[in-house]
Every structure is written in structure tokens, then in C-alpha cells.
Amino acid sequence: MKYSIKLAVLGAFLAAGVAQAATTTTVTNFEQTLSFALTATMQGPTTTNGTTVTTAATTASVATKDVIKALGTFSSKAQLLLITPTNTDNSSSFVVRDVVNKTNVDTTVSDSFMHERLGKVTSSKVSNGKTTGTTYQITYLGFQPPSQSPSLSFDLTVFITQTIQTGAGSASGVGTGMVGTNKAVIKGTFSASPYKAVKVKVPGQ
């Protein structure tokens, strides 16, 4: 009798293990770190000296840390990432990754970014099942944080060069935006690091 009870208990544990495995799936995401290096040119003051009227322009640097700051309250360790699922048709997500109590905490901020591909040209080669080459894209990139009075926003037309095999890309863009309460003409560059494949456990179907 005791032997039968032990088998029943063991069976229950095995069944629980099977249920656990059935509800957990491992997927692979491609993660890329995004970096911005922009310059905003804003209208400065106008001064009059006799018959001479001088209108000045001022500039300000816009770096990745400024983009992250506009998105919310994060530590100095926070990074801006682009995460792309490899096993679904879902689009990429913009994420701020911060470190809290030595643990990575991801905050999805995709609602603050608008992007639309306007054109794409590919130069590639397939050899032994491997594809190499480069893609060239013209893309619209908008940034509008959730605040009603954001400290930073922009609308850029961007030329992107991306390596197919690694995903690494560099871009240059121009457009307009706001820095604080000042309208600005904005230009500069941003880049995406090579793909980093990361396995993530998610609930199964």
C-alpha cells in the first residue's frame, strides 16, 4: 500500500513537471543598443546696435542620455535598446533597460517612437546558405515622449546603412524638433550595435 502511495506521489510530481514544461517556451530575441549624437540649432536673441540688427543662433547637443531622460526617471546606467523577436511576426520594440538592485529592468517605450520605412535597396550575396551584404534605407523617425510638455521631441528623415549578417547600422538624419520650449533644426547621427541573441522564457500557449 505504501509503495502504491509513493508511486502516486511520484506520478503527481512528474505530471506537474510536464505541465510546467508545457507552459514555458524559450524564444530568441535580437537585442541592439541604440546611440544618438544629434545637434539642435535654435533661434537665439536679436539685438540692435544703431542701424545694425543681429540675430543669433544657439546650438545644443542631444545624446542618448537626453533621449532616455525625456522618457522618464532612470539611472545613469540606463540604456536604450531595440529588441526584435526572431520567431514571430511582431515588430521591433524600443526598450529602456535600467539596473535596479543589480537586476535588469526593462521598460517598453515604443509608444514614444514612430518609424516608417520610405525606401530600401539591398546589395547581398548568398554563399553556402549564408547571406552577406548591406541594406540602404530611407526612414522616417519620430520621437514624442508621453509628457504633455516634453523636454525633447523630433521628426527626422534618416539614411540608414545596415550590415545584413550582424545587424549593425549607422545613420545620419535631418529634421525639426523641440528642445525644451525652443523650436530647433536638428541633424546628426545614430547607430545600432550588432545583433546580440538572447534567449528569453515566455509563457507557452
Query: Tell me: the pLDDT tens digits for 26-49?
Result: 888 999 999 999 999 999 889 999
User: Which one of 19-23, 30-34, 99-103, 201-205 scores highest in mean pLDDT?
Assistant: 30-34
Q: What is the pLDDT of residue 78?
A: 97
Query: If you write DSSP's letter for every residue of 37-60 in order, what string do you get?
Result: EEEEEEEEEEEEETTEEEEEEEEE
Residue 169: predicted pLDDT: 96
- Contact indicator for 26, 200 with CB cutoff of 8 Å: yes
C-alpha cell at 171: 545613420
Mean pLDDT over 156-175 rounds to 96
Alpha carbons 141 and 82: distance in angstroms, whole number: 14
- Read off φ and ψ for residue 204, nearest 5 degrees: -80, 180
Using the 8-state DSSP alphabet, how is residue 111 labeled? G
Cell numbers at 128, concatenated: 553556402
The residue extents of the domains of the chain are 26-44+57-200
Q: Do 134 and 125 touch, CB atoms closer than 8 A?
A: no
Tens digit of each residue's pLDDT (9 = 90 or more) over 69-117: 999 999 999 999 999 988 766 678 999 999 999 999 999 999 999 999 9
Q: What is the pTM of this model?
A: 0.81
Of the candidate ranges 21-30, 60-69, 155-164, the one whose mean pLDDT is the lowest: 21-30
> Using alpha carbons only, what angle is made at residue 68 by residues 152 and 195, rounded to the nearest 5 degrees?
125
| pLDDT value, residue 7 | 41
pLDDT at 10: 38
Once rounded to an integer, what is the mean pLDDT over residues 50-63?
A: 93
